[in-house]
Structure 1
Amino acid sequence: MFNCYKCITCTRKKQDVESSGNSGASKLLGEGGFGRVYSVPGGGSNNTLYAVKVAEPQNPQQLERLEMEILIHGSLQHDRIVRMLDWVETQIGQFYICLEYCEVGSLYSYAEQLTQEKRHMDSQQIRFIFRQLVEGCEYLHERCIIHRDLKPQNILLTSSLDVKITDFGLAIIKPGQGAVWASVWGVLDTFRPRCCWSPGTRQQQTSGPWAAYCSGCTLGSSPFRKEISKAGIIEEKSAASPLFGRRL
Protein backbone atom coordinates (compact mmCIF):
# COMPACT_ATOMS: atom_id res chain seq x y z
CA MET A 1 0.00 0.00 0.00
CA PHE A 2 1.21 3.50 -0.83
CA ASN A 3 2.54 5.47 2.12
CA CYS A 4 3.23 9.16 1.56
CA TYR A 5 5.04 9.58 4.88
CA LYS A 6 7.32 6.65 4.00
CA CYS A 7 8.23 8.47 0.78
CA ILE A 8 8.89 11.69 2.69
CA THR A 9 11.18 9.88 5.15
CA CYS A 10 13.13 8.29 2.30
CA THR A 11 13.41 11.62 0.51
CA ARG A 12 14.79 13.32 3.60
CA LYS A 13 17.33 10.52 4.00
CA LYS A 14 18.31 10.98 0.37
CA GLN A 15 18.87 14.71 0.90
CA ASP A 16 21.10 13.86 3.87
CA VAL A 17 22.96 11.32 1.73
CA GLU A 18 23.56 13.94 -0.98
CA SER A 19 25.03 16.39 1.52
CA SER A 20 27.33 13.69 2.93
CA GLY A 21 28.53 12.57 -0.51
CA ASN A 22 27.47 8.94 -0.11
CA SER A 23 25.27 6.91 -2.43
CA GLY A 24 21.76 5.75 -1.63
CA ALA A 25 18.90 3.70 -3.02
CA SER A 26 17.07 6.86 -4.13
CA LYS A 27 18.32 9.34 -6.69
CA LEU A 28 17.75 12.86 -7.90
CA LEU A 29 15.67 12.84 -11.09
CA GLY A 30 15.63 16.56 -11.84
CA GLU A 31 15.15 20.04 -10.47
CA GLY A 32 13.22 23.16 -11.37
CA GLY A 33 12.82 26.74 -10.25
CA PHE A 34 12.21 26.05 -6.56
CA GLY A 35 12.06 22.28 -6.19
CA ARG A 36 13.68 18.91 -6.84
CA VAL A 37 12.26 15.55 -7.83
CA TYR A 38 13.57 12.30 -6.35
CA SER A 39 12.84 8.64 -6.97
CA VAL A 40 12.17 6.96 -3.62
CA PRO A 41 10.87 3.58 -2.42
CA GLY A 42 7.35 3.70 -1.03
CA GLY A 43 7.54 0.67 1.20
CA GLY A 44 5.49 -2.50 0.90
CA SER A 45 6.53 -5.98 -0.11
CA ASN A 46 7.74 -5.03 -3.61
CA ASN A 47 9.26 -1.67 -2.55
CA THR A 48 7.68 0.20 -5.48
CA LEU A 49 9.41 3.37 -6.60
CA TYR A 50 7.64 6.73 -6.56
CA ALA A 51 8.63 10.20 -7.67
CA VAL A 52 8.59 12.81 -4.91
CA LYS A 53 8.77 16.51 -5.70
CA VAL A 54 10.21 18.58 -2.86
CA ALA A 55 9.28 22.24 -3.26
CA GLU A 56 10.25 25.19 -1.07
CA PRO A 57 8.48 28.34 -2.27
CA GLN A 58 10.44 31.44 -1.34
CA ASN A 59 7.76 34.10 -1.76
CA PRO A 60 3.95 34.47 -1.92
CA GLN A 61 3.96 34.29 -5.73
CA GLN A 62 5.76 30.95 -5.74
CA LEU A 63 3.46 29.65 -3.00
CA GLU A 64 0.39 30.67 -4.99
CA ARG A 65 1.79 29.01 -8.10
CA LEU A 66 2.51 25.78 -6.20
CA GLU A 67 -0.94 25.70 -4.62
CA MET A 68 -2.50 26.09 -8.07
CA GLU A 69 -0.33 23.24 -9.36
CA ILE A 70 -1.50 20.97 -6.56
CA LEU A 71 -5.13 21.96 -7.10
CA ILE A 72 -5.02 21.26 -10.84
CA HIS A 73 -2.80 18.17 -10.87
CA GLY A 74 -4.61 16.59 -7.94
CA SER A 75 -7.93 16.80 -9.79
CA LEU A 76 -6.70 14.84 -12.83
CA GLN A 77 -7.32 11.14 -13.34
CA HIS A 78 -6.28 9.87 -16.77
CA ASP A 79 -3.93 7.27 -18.24
CA ARG A 80 -1.98 9.99 -20.08
CA ILE A 81 -1.39 12.12 -16.97
CA VAL A 82 1.14 11.37 -14.23
CA ARG A 83 -0.89 10.47 -11.15
CA MET A 84 -0.57 12.64 -8.06
CA LEU A 85 -0.91 10.22 -5.16
CA ASP A 86 -0.66 12.52 -2.17
CA TRP A 87 0.96 15.66 -0.86
CA VAL A 88 2.07 17.03 2.50
CA GLU A 89 3.15 20.45 3.74
CA THR A 90 5.59 20.44 6.65
CA GLN A 91 5.77 22.93 9.51
CA ILE A 92 8.80 24.62 7.94
CA GLY A 93 7.00 25.29 4.66
CA GLN A 94 8.32 22.38 2.57
CA PHE A 95 5.92 20.64 0.22
CA TYR A 96 6.29 16.94 -0.59
CA ILE A 97 4.26 15.92 -3.64
CA CYS A 98 4.18 12.16 -4.24
CA LEU A 99 3.77 11.20 -7.91
CA GLU A 100 3.64 8.17 -10.14
CA TYR A 101 7.13 7.03 -11.20
CA CYS A 102 7.89 6.61 -14.92
CA GLU A 103 10.77 4.24 -15.59
CA VAL A 104 12.12 5.59 -18.89
CA GLY A 105 12.10 9.24 -17.89
CA SER A 106 11.32 12.18 -20.14
CA LEU A 107 10.78 12.09 -23.88
CA TYR A 108 13.69 14.51 -24.17
CA SER A 109 16.17 12.26 -22.35
CA TYR A 110 14.90 9.23 -24.26
CA ALA A 111 15.50 10.98 -27.60
CA GLU A 112 18.94 12.08 -26.42
CA GLN A 113 19.80 8.51 -25.47
CA LEU A 114 18.70 7.21 -28.86
CA THR A 115 20.85 9.85 -30.56
CA GLN A 116 23.91 8.88 -28.54
CA GLU A 117 23.34 5.23 -29.43
CA LYS A 118 22.84 6.20 -33.09
CA ARG A 119 19.35 4.77 -33.07
CA HIS A 120 15.99 6.28 -33.87
CA MET A 121 12.26 5.63 -33.52
CA ASP A 122 10.37 4.22 -36.43
CA SER A 123 7.21 5.87 -37.70
CA GLN A 124 4.98 3.44 -35.80
CA GLN A 125 6.58 4.34 -32.46
CA ILE A 126 6.32 8.05 -33.22
CA ARG A 127 2.62 7.75 -34.07
CA PHE A 128 2.06 5.70 -30.90
CA ILE A 129 3.61 8.40 -28.70
CA PHE A 130 2.02 11.32 -30.54
CA ARG A 131 -1.47 9.78 -30.40
CA GLN A 132 -1.22 9.38 -26.63
CA LEU A 133 0.05 12.94 -26.28
CA VAL A 134 -2.99 14.22 -28.15
CA GLU A 135 -5.25 12.08 -25.92
CA GLY A 136 -3.75 13.73 -22.84
CA CYS A 137 -4.16 17.23 -24.26
CA GLU A 138 -7.75 16.48 -25.23
CA TYR A 139 -8.51 15.35 -21.67
CA LEU A 140 -7.03 18.57 -20.25
CA HIS A 141 -8.80 20.85 -22.70
CA GLU A 142 -12.15 19.17 -22.08
CA ARG A 143 -11.70 20.28 -18.47
CA CYS A 144 -10.69 23.81 -19.50
CA ILE A 145 -7.11 23.25 -18.29
CA ILE A 146 -4.22 24.71 -20.28
CA HIS A 147 -0.80 23.23 -19.51
CA ARG A 148 1.24 26.17 -20.92
CA ASP A 149 4.57 24.34 -20.61
CA LEU A 150 4.14 21.25 -22.76
CA LYS A 151 7.59 20.21 -23.98
CA PRO A 152 9.62 16.97 -24.28
CA GLN A 153 11.06 17.45 -20.78
CA ASN A 154 7.52 17.39 -19.32
CA ILE A 155 6.40 14.30 -21.22
CA LEU A 156 7.37 11.14 -19.35
CA LEU A 157 7.48 7.58 -20.64
CA THR A 158 6.85 4.28 -18.89
CA SER A 159 8.74 1.08 -19.68
CA SER A 160 6.17 0.32 -22.39
CA LEU A 161 6.55 3.86 -23.83
CA ASP A 162 3.17 4.99 -22.55
CA VAL A 163 2.97 8.78 -22.41
CA LYS A 164 2.43 10.58 -19.09
CA ILE A 165 2.16 14.39 -19.05
CA THR A 166 3.62 16.01 -15.95
CA ASP A 167 4.64 19.35 -14.36
CA PHE A 168 1.55 21.52 -14.04
CA GLY A 169 3.45 24.37 -12.40
CA LEU A 170 2.37 26.84 -15.10
CA ALA A 171 -1.05 25.35 -15.81
CA ILE A 172 -4.22 27.41 -15.49
CA ILE A 173 -7.93 26.78 -15.57
CA LYS A 174 -9.29 28.68 -18.54
CA PRO A 175 -11.82 31.30 -17.35
CA GLY A 176 -13.70 31.64 -20.64
CA GLN A 177 -13.57 31.71 -24.42
CA GLY A 178 -13.08 35.48 -24.57
CA ALA A 179 -10.20 35.66 -22.11
CA VAL A 180 -7.01 37.52 -22.95
CA TRP A 181 -3.89 36.57 -20.98
CA ALA A 182 -1.72 39.30 -19.54
CA SER A 183 1.38 37.12 -19.88
CA VAL A 184 2.78 34.22 -21.90
CA TRP A 185 4.55 31.31 -20.20
CA GLY A 186 6.65 28.43 -21.44
CA VAL A 187 9.83 27.81 -23.42
CA LEU A 188 10.53 29.89 -26.51
CA ASP A 189 11.48 26.86 -28.63
CA THR A 190 7.98 25.42 -28.23
CA PHE A 191 6.02 28.67 -28.49
CA ARG A 192 3.32 28.73 -31.08
CA PRO A 193 4.10 31.67 -33.43
CA ARG A 194 0.89 33.48 -32.46
CA CYS A 195 2.04 33.48 -28.82
CA CYS A 196 4.95 35.78 -29.71
CA TRP A 197 2.70 38.68 -30.64
CA SER A 198 3.57 41.89 -28.86
CA PRO A 199 1.47 43.04 -25.86
CA GLY A 200 -1.67 44.93 -26.85
CA THR A 201 -2.07 43.06 -30.14
CA ARG A 202 -1.73 39.48 -28.92
CA GLN A 203 -5.02 37.59 -28.92
CA GLN A 204 -5.79 34.77 -26.52
CA GLN A 205 -4.22 31.61 -27.92
CA THR A 206 -3.42 28.23 -26.46
CA SER A 207 -0.01 26.76 -27.26
CA GLY A 208 -1.10 23.14 -26.87
CA PRO A 209 -1.35 22.14 -30.55
CA TRP A 210 1.92 23.85 -31.49
CA ALA A 211 3.78 22.43 -28.48
CA ALA A 212 2.38 18.99 -29.23
CA TYR A 213 3.72 19.30 -32.76
CA CYS A 214 7.17 20.32 -31.55
CA SER A 215 7.25 17.57 -28.93
CA GLY A 216 5.75 14.72 -30.91
CA CYS A 217 7.10 15.31 -34.40
CA THR A 218 10.61 16.45 -33.57
CA LEU A 219 11.10 14.16 -30.54
CA GLY A 220 13.08 16.58 -28.45
CA SER A 221 14.56 18.87 -31.08
CA SER A 222 13.39 22.41 -31.71
CA PRO A 223 12.08 23.06 -35.24
CA PHE A 224 14.12 26.26 -35.11
CA ARG A 225 17.91 26.30 -35.12
CA LYS A 226 19.47 26.07 -31.66
CA GLU A 227 22.49 28.24 -32.44
CA ILE A 228 20.55 31.40 -33.23
CA SER A 229 19.49 34.00 -30.68
CA LYS A 230 16.06 34.60 -29.19
CA ALA A 231 15.49 37.41 -31.73
CA GLY A 232 16.54 35.03 -34.51
CA ILE A 233 14.02 32.40 -33.43
CA ILE A 234 11.27 35.01 -33.40
CA GLU A 235 12.33 36.16 -36.86
CA GLU A 236 12.18 32.60 -38.22
CA LYS A 237 8.74 32.10 -36.71
CA SER A 238 7.63 35.36 -38.25
CA ALA A 239 8.66 34.10 -41.68
CA ALA A 240 6.95 30.76 -41.03
CA SER A 241 3.57 32.23 -40.11
CA PRO A 242 1.62 35.00 -41.87
CA LEU A 243 -0.29 35.53 -38.62
CA PHE A 244 2.85 36.47 -36.71
CA GLY A 245 2.80 40.04 -35.32
CA ARG A 246 5.49 42.60 -34.67
CA ARG A 247 8.94 41.59 -33.48
CA LEU A 248 9.49 41.86 -29.74
Structure 2
Amino acid sequence: SIVIEENTLGHGAFGKTGVFRDAISKKQVLIKSIQFFNESDLEASKKEVSVMQILKSEFVVKCYGYFIKEKTINIVMEYCEKGDLQKFIDNLQKEHKIISEQEFFDLASQLASGLSFIHSKQVIHRDLKPSNIFISGNNRIKIGDFGISMIMDEQDYANTVAGTKLFLSPEMLKKWSYTEKVDQWSLGIILFILAELKYPFDISNELNLVNSITNDIPAPFVNLKNETAQKLILLLLSKDASKRPTSDELLQIPEIASFQMSEFNKEKILNHYH
Protein backbone atom coordinates (compact mmCIF):
# COMPACT_ATOMS: atom_id res chain seq x y z
CA SER A 1 0.00 0.00 0.00
CA ILE A 2 3.05 2.29 0.09
CA VAL A 3 2.78 4.29 -3.09
CA ILE A 4 3.92 7.87 -2.58
CA GLU A 5 7.57 8.86 -2.32
CA GLU A 6 7.77 12.20 -0.56
CA ASN A 7 11.46 12.87 -0.13
CA THR A 8 14.82 11.24 -0.78
CA LEU A 9 16.99 11.70 2.31
CA GLY A 10 20.26 10.25 1.11
CA HIS A 11 22.15 8.24 -1.46
CA GLY A 12 24.93 5.73 -0.84
CA ALA A 13 27.10 3.61 -3.08
CA PHE A 14 24.56 0.77 -3.14
CA GLY A 15 21.27 2.32 -2.17
CA LYS A 16 19.17 5.22 -0.97
CA THR A 17 16.89 6.25 1.86
CA GLY A 18 13.53 7.91 1.26
CA VAL A 19 10.39 8.99 3.07
CA PHE A 20 7.14 7.40 1.85
CA ARG A 21 3.50 7.73 2.85
CA ASP A 22 1.26 4.70 3.24
CA ALA A 23 -1.70 5.24 0.92
CA ILE A 24 -4.17 3.68 3.35
CA SER A 25 -3.01 4.76 6.82
CA LYS A 26 -1.45 8.03 5.59
CA LYS A 27 1.42 7.26 7.94
CA GLN A 28 4.93 8.32 6.93
CA VAL A 29 7.60 5.63 6.90
CA LEU A 30 11.28 5.51 6.05
CA ILE A 31 12.42 3.03 3.43
CA LYS A 32 16.08 2.11 3.17
CA SER A 33 16.73 0.52 -0.23
CA ILE A 34 19.91 -1.54 -0.53
CA GLN A 35 21.14 -3.24 -3.69
CA PHE A 36 22.43 -6.77 -3.23
CA PHE A 37 24.71 -8.63 -5.61
CA ASN A 38 24.78 -12.06 -3.98
CA GLU A 39 23.12 -14.12 -1.29
CA SER A 40 25.50 -12.98 1.46
CA ASP A 41 24.64 -9.31 0.78
CA LEU A 42 20.97 -10.17 1.08
CA GLU A 43 21.47 -12.16 4.28
CA ALA A 44 23.38 -9.25 5.86
CA SER A 45 20.44 -6.92 5.26
CA LYS A 46 17.96 -9.53 6.49
CA LYS A 47 20.07 -9.81 9.65
CA GLU A 48 19.67 -6.07 10.28
CA VAL A 49 15.89 -6.50 9.98
CA SER A 50 15.83 -9.48 12.34
CA VAL A 51 17.90 -7.60 14.95
CA MET A 52 15.63 -4.55 14.76
CA GLN A 53 12.51 -6.69 15.04
CA ILE A 54 13.62 -8.19 18.37
CA LEU A 55 14.39 -4.71 19.70
CA LYS A 56 10.88 -3.49 20.42
CA SER A 57 11.40 -0.39 22.55
CA GLU A 58 10.33 3.24 22.41
CA PHE A 59 14.05 4.08 22.38
CA VAL A 60 14.77 2.04 19.23
CA VAL A 61 13.67 2.85 15.66
CA LYS A 62 10.83 0.46 14.76
CA CYS A 63 11.25 -1.89 11.81
CA TYR A 64 8.01 -2.88 10.09
CA GLY A 65 9.51 -5.43 7.70
CA TYR A 66 11.02 -5.60 4.23
CA PHE A 67 10.24 -6.42 0.63
CA ILE A 68 12.51 -7.39 -2.25
CA LYS A 69 12.25 -5.90 -5.71
CA GLU A 70 14.72 -6.13 -8.60
CA LYS A 71 17.87 -7.08 -6.65
CA THR A 72 17.05 -4.47 -4.00
CA ILE A 73 15.95 -5.14 -0.44
CA ASN A 74 13.71 -2.38 0.91
CA ILE A 75 13.62 -2.10 4.70
CA VAL A 76 10.53 -0.30 6.01
CA MET A 77 11.14 1.62 9.23
CA GLU A 78 9.70 4.24 11.52
CA TYR A 79 10.26 7.78 10.24
CA CYS A 80 11.71 10.22 12.79
CA GLU A 81 10.63 13.69 11.71
CA LYS A 82 13.23 15.68 13.66
CA GLY A 83 16.18 14.04 11.89
CA ASP A 84 19.22 12.74 13.72
CA LEU A 85 21.37 13.82 16.65
CA GLN A 86 24.10 14.99 14.27
CA LYS A 87 21.69 17.57 12.87
CA PHE A 88 20.87 18.64 16.43
CA ILE A 89 24.60 19.07 17.22
CA ASP A 90 25.22 20.93 13.95
CA ASN A 91 22.42 23.36 14.83
CA LEU A 92 23.88 23.94 18.29
CA GLN A 93 27.28 24.71 16.76
CA LYS A 94 25.82 26.95 14.07
CA GLU A 95 23.82 28.95 16.60
CA HIS A 96 26.60 28.97 19.25
CA LYS A 97 24.28 27.39 21.80
CA ILE A 98 25.08 24.90 24.53
CA ILE A 99 22.65 22.46 26.11
CA SER A 100 21.52 22.96 29.69
CA GLU A 101 22.30 20.48 32.48
CA GLN A 102 18.65 19.43 32.36
CA GLU A 103 18.85 18.67 28.64
CA PHE A 104 22.17 16.84 29.11
CA PHE A 105 20.74 14.48 31.72
CA ASP A 106 17.53 13.99 29.75
CA LEU A 107 19.52 12.98 26.65
CA ALA A 108 21.81 10.77 28.75
CA SER A 109 18.78 9.10 30.32
CA GLN A 110 17.14 8.32 26.98
CA LEU A 111 20.37 7.04 25.40
CA ALA A 112 21.15 4.90 28.45
CA SER A 113 17.58 3.53 28.44
CA GLY A 114 17.94 2.57 24.78
CA LEU A 115 21.32 0.91 25.27
CA SER A 116 20.16 -0.86 28.42
CA PHE A 117 17.33 -2.46 26.44
CA ILE A 118 19.56 -3.31 23.44
CA HIS A 119 22.17 -4.96 25.66
CA SER A 120 19.47 -6.86 27.59
CA LYS A 121 18.66 -8.55 24.28
CA GLN A 122 22.33 -9.57 23.91
CA VAL A 123 22.90 -7.15 21.03
CA ILE A 124 25.98 -4.93 20.61
CA HIS A 125 25.30 -1.98 18.30
CA ARG A 126 29.00 -1.40 17.38
CA ASP A 127 28.34 1.78 15.38
CA LEU A 128 26.71 4.14 17.85
CA LYS A 129 27.18 7.74 16.69
CA PRO A 130 25.03 10.89 16.36
CA SER A 131 24.00 10.14 12.76
CA ASN A 132 22.58 6.77 13.91
CA ILE A 133 20.50 8.29 16.71
CA PHE A 134 17.17 9.80 15.67
CA ILE A 135 14.63 12.22 17.14
CA SER A 136 10.93 11.48 16.71
CA GLY A 137 8.10 13.97 16.32
CA ASN A 138 7.43 13.87 20.08
CA ASN A 139 11.13 14.46 20.79
CA ARG A 140 11.90 10.87 21.78
CA ILE A 141 15.47 9.74 21.20
CA LYS A 142 15.61 6.52 19.14
CA ILE A 143 18.65 4.40 18.32
CA GLY A 144 18.77 3.09 14.75
CA ASP A 145 20.97 1.63 12.01
CA PHE A 146 21.83 -1.87 13.20
CA GLY A 147 23.63 -2.79 9.97
CA ILE A 148 26.82 -3.93 11.72
CA SER A 149 25.35 -4.90 15.08
CA MET A 150 26.05 -8.36 16.43
CA ILE A 151 24.43 -10.75 18.85
CA MET A 152 26.70 -11.79 21.70
CA ASP A 153 27.55 -15.47 21.88
CA GLU A 154 28.03 -17.52 25.05
CA GLN A 155 31.58 -16.19 25.43
CA ASP A 156 30.30 -12.62 25.51
CA TYR A 157 33.44 -11.52 23.67
CA ALA A 158 33.93 -10.47 20.06
CA ASN A 159 37.01 -9.40 18.13
CA THR A 160 36.00 -8.17 14.68
CA VAL A 161 36.66 -4.50 14.00
CA ALA A 162 33.53 -2.59 12.98
CA GLY A 163 32.15 0.89 13.30
CA THR A 164 33.20 4.48 12.65
CA LYS A 165 36.74 5.23 13.90
CA LEU A 166 35.82 8.46 15.71
CA PHE A 167 33.54 6.43 17.98
CA LEU A 168 35.59 3.22 18.27
CA SER A 169 36.84 2.13 21.68
CA PRO A 170 40.55 1.52 22.43
CA GLU A 171 40.02 -2.25 22.59
CA MET A 172 38.42 -2.32 19.13
CA LEU A 173 41.21 -0.20 17.64
CA LYS A 174 43.76 -2.58 19.17
CA LYS A 175 41.76 -5.52 17.77
CA TRP A 176 41.35 -6.98 21.23
CA SER A 177 38.30 -8.97 22.26
CA TYR A 178 35.43 -6.80 23.44
CA THR A 179 31.97 -6.77 24.98
CA GLU A 180 28.97 -4.46 24.91
CA LYS A 181 31.19 -1.96 26.77
CA VAL A 182 32.30 -0.71 23.32
CA ASP A 183 28.85 0.90 23.04
CA GLN A 184 29.40 2.56 26.43
CA TRP A 185 32.60 4.14 25.08
CA SER A 186 30.70 5.45 22.06
CA LEU A 187 28.06 6.86 24.42
CA GLY A 188 30.81 8.69 26.31
CA ILE A 189 32.08 10.27 23.08
CA ILE A 190 28.53 11.30 22.09
CA LEU A 191 27.81 12.87 25.49
CA PHE A 192 31.13 14.76 25.41
CA ILE A 193 30.31 16.14 21.95
CA LEU A 194 26.78 17.10 23.04
CA ALA A 195 28.15 19.03 26.01
CA GLU A 196 31.32 20.52 24.53
CA LEU A 197 30.45 20.66 20.79
CA LYS A 198 33.87 19.26 19.95
CA TYR A 199 35.59 15.86 19.82
CA PRO A 200 37.55 14.85 22.95
CA PHE A 201 40.66 13.51 21.18
CA ASP A 202 43.19 14.56 18.52
CA ILE A 203 41.62 14.29 15.06
CA SER A 204 44.37 16.02 13.05
CA ASN A 205 44.98 12.78 11.13
CA GLU A 206 44.08 9.11 11.37
CA LEU A 207 47.30 8.00 13.08
CA ASN A 208 47.00 10.73 15.70
CA LEU A 209 43.35 9.82 16.20
CA VAL A 210 44.13 6.17 16.94
CA ASN A 211 47.04 7.08 19.23
CA SER A 212 44.97 9.70 21.03
CA ILE A 213 41.99 7.39 21.61
CA THR A 214 44.21 4.62 22.96
CA ASN A 215 46.59 6.77 25.06
CA ASP A 216 45.35 10.30 25.81
CA ILE A 217 42.99 11.61 28.44
CA PRO A 218 39.98 13.47 26.99
CA ALA A 219 40.17 17.22 26.39
CA PRO A 220 39.22 19.33 29.44
CA PHE A 221 35.62 20.38 29.95
CA VAL A 222 34.78 24.00 29.16
CA ASN A 223 31.00 24.19 28.69
CA LEU A 224 30.00 21.37 31.03
CA LYS A 225 30.18 22.52 34.66
CA ASN A 226 28.19 19.78 36.40
CA GLU A 227 30.61 17.47 38.25
CA THR A 228 28.33 14.42 38.05
CA ALA A 229 28.04 14.82 34.27
CA GLN A 230 31.81 15.27 33.93
CA LYS A 231 32.49 12.19 36.06
CA LEU A 232 30.09 9.93 34.15
CA ILE A 233 31.64 10.95 30.80
CA LEU A 234 35.17 10.29 32.10
CA LEU A 235 34.07 6.90 33.43
CA LEU A 236 32.50 6.01 30.08
CA LEU A 237 35.79 7.01 28.42
CA SER A 238 37.89 4.72 30.63
CA LYS A 239 40.55 2.92 28.58
CA ASP A 240 39.86 -0.12 30.76
CA ALA A 241 36.47 -1.36 29.54
CA SER A 242 35.70 -3.01 32.90
CA LYS A 243 35.66 0.44 34.54
CA ARG A 244 33.00 1.80 32.21
CA PRO A 245 29.55 1.84 33.82
CA THR A 246 26.83 -0.21 32.18
CA SER A 247 23.73 1.59 30.99
CA ASP A 248 21.80 0.03 33.89
CA GLU A 249 24.33 1.59 36.28
CA LEU A 250 23.97 4.97 34.55
CA LEU A 251 20.21 4.79 35.08
CA GLN A 252 20.83 4.56 38.85
CA ILE A 253 22.52 8.00 38.92
CA PRO A 254 19.92 10.30 40.56
CA GLU A 255 20.25 13.07 37.96
CA ILE A 256 19.62 10.54 35.18
CA ALA A 257 17.02 8.48 37.06
CA SER A 258 14.88 11.59 37.53
CA PHE A 259 14.46 11.83 33.76
CA GLN A 260 13.91 8.14 33.09
CA MET A 261 10.85 7.61 30.91
CA SER A 262 10.06 11.33 31.03
CA GLU A 263 9.00 13.24 27.95
CA PHE A 264 11.77 15.17 26.27
CA ASN A 265 11.96 18.87 27.18
CA LYS A 266 10.07 19.94 24.08
CA GLU A 267 10.25 23.70 24.33
CA LYS A 268 14.02 23.89 24.76
CA ILE A 269 14.76 21.28 22.13
CA LEU A 270 12.49 22.91 19.59
CA ASN A 271 14.26 26.21 20.20
CA HIS A 272 17.46 24.59 18.95
CA TYR A 273 15.78 23.75 15.64
CA HIS A 274 14.43 27.20 14.83
TM-score of the aligned structures, taking structure 2 as reference length: 0.72
- Counterparts of residues 29-40 of structure 1 (less than 5 Å): 29-32=9-12, 34-40=14-20
Superposed, which structure 2 residues align to 1:66-105 within 5 Å?
66-90=45-69, 92-105=70-83
Distance 1:127 1:31 in 2: 34
Q: Which residue is 2:95 aligned to?
A: 117
Question: Which stretches in structure 1 are left out of the alignment for 5+ residues?
Answer: 12-25
- SS of 1:203's equivalent in the other structure is coil
**2:173 aligned residue:** 196
Give the whole-Å Cα distance in 2 for the aligned partners of 1:127 and 1:37: 31
Quick check: 1:233 aligned with 2:209?
yes
One-letter amino acid of the counterpart of residue 66, structure 1: S
* Distance of aligned partners of 1:187 and 1:52 in 2 relative to their CA distance in 1, 3 Å threshold: same
CA contact (8 A) 1:129 1:162 kept: no
| 1:139-178 alignment, distance < 5 Å | 139-178=117-156
Residues in 2 aligned to 1:180 and 1:242: alpha-carbon distance in whole angstroms: 17
Kept in 2: contact 1:192–1:211 (CA 8 A): yes
- The 1-side partners of 2:47 and 2:205 are apart by 33
CA distance in structure 2 between the aligned counterparts of 1:239 and 1:83, rounded to whole angstroms: 38
Q: Does 1:222 align with 2:175?
A: no
CA distance in 2, matches of 1:88, 1:50: 14
Q: How far does residue 156 in structure 1 lie from its aligned partner after superposition?
A: 0.2
Judged with a 3 Å threshold, the aligned counterparts in structure 2 of structure 1 residues 93 and 221 are, in CA distance, closer, same or farther, namely farther
Asked if 2 retains the 8 angstrom alpha-carbon contact of 1:130 and 1:217, the reply is: no
Shift of 1:83: 0.6
- CA-CA distance at 1:139 after TM superposition: 0.6
2:185 aligns to what? 210
**Residue 57 of structure 1 pairs with residue 51 of structure 2:** no
User: 133, 136, 146: which is aligned to 2:111?
Assistant: 133
In 1: Cα distance, 2:135 partner to 2:129 partner: 13
1:20 maps to which residue? none
> SS in structure 2 opposite 1:38?
strand
* Aligned-residue CA RMSD (Å): 2.1
Structure 2 segments unaligned to the other structure (5+ residues): 217-237, 242-274
1:106-133: CA deviations, max 9, x gaps? Answer: 1001110222122232121121111111
TM-score under structure 1 normalisation? 0.80
Q: Find out whether 1:187 has 2:164 as its counterpart.
A: yes
- In structure 2, do the counterparts of structure 1 residues 216 and 68 end up closer, same or farther at CA, with 3 Å as the change threshold? same
Q: Cα offset for 1:66? A: 0.7
Give the % identical residues.
24
